[in-house]
């Protein structure tokens, strides 16, 4: 997994839209979404949904999976930075495929 991956919106803005010279409004028209929705994505206030992944894949000749993978890596990285706050205890301890109850 990438260390501190960028939000997918930053990638879209810098790698996909900037070289084409597209404004947010123009890109929103091409993607068939509202300017507000695209702006939220590009500015990291929302993530890539499965529907947006399909739209991006059509627009940029990629796969929806590639967009969803970027989002998943970003979300997982952010969540792992917070995992110390989780109040989770192992249910099982043991090696391999032989689970042993944690309280045993």
Q: Which domains does the chain have, with CATH numbers?
A: 8-82 (1.10.260.40)
Tokens 């939000």 -> residue? 7
Dist. CA 5–CA 98, nearest whole Å: 35
Give the ranges where the chain is alpha helix by DSSP (H): 8-11, 24-31, 35-42, 50-60, 64-80
Res. 36: pLDDT tops 80: yes
Report the alpha-carbon distance of residue 11 to residue 71 in Å, rounded: 11
CA distance 41 to 72: 14
Residues 6+ apart with CB under 8 A from 11: 70
pTM of the predicted structure, to 2 decimals: 0.83
Beta-bridge partners for 101: 92
Dump pLDDT digits (tens) for 8-28. 999 999 999 999 999 999 999
Task: Please report the pLDDT score of residue 97 as a whole number.
Answer: 63
């Amino acid at each position: 997994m990438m260390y501190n991956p960028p939000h997918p919106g930053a990638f879209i803005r810098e790698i996909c839209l900037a070289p084409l010279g597209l404004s947010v409004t123009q890109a929103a028209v091409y993607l068939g979404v509202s300017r507000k929705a695209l702006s939220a994505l590009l500015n990291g206030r929302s993530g890539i949904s499965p529907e947006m992944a399909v739209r991006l894949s059509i627009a940029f000749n990629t796969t929806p999976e590639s967009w969803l993978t970027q989002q998943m890596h970003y979300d997982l990285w952010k969540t792992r930075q917070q995992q110390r706050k989780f109040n989770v205890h192992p249910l099982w301890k043991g090696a391999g495929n032989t689970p042993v109850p944690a309280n045993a």
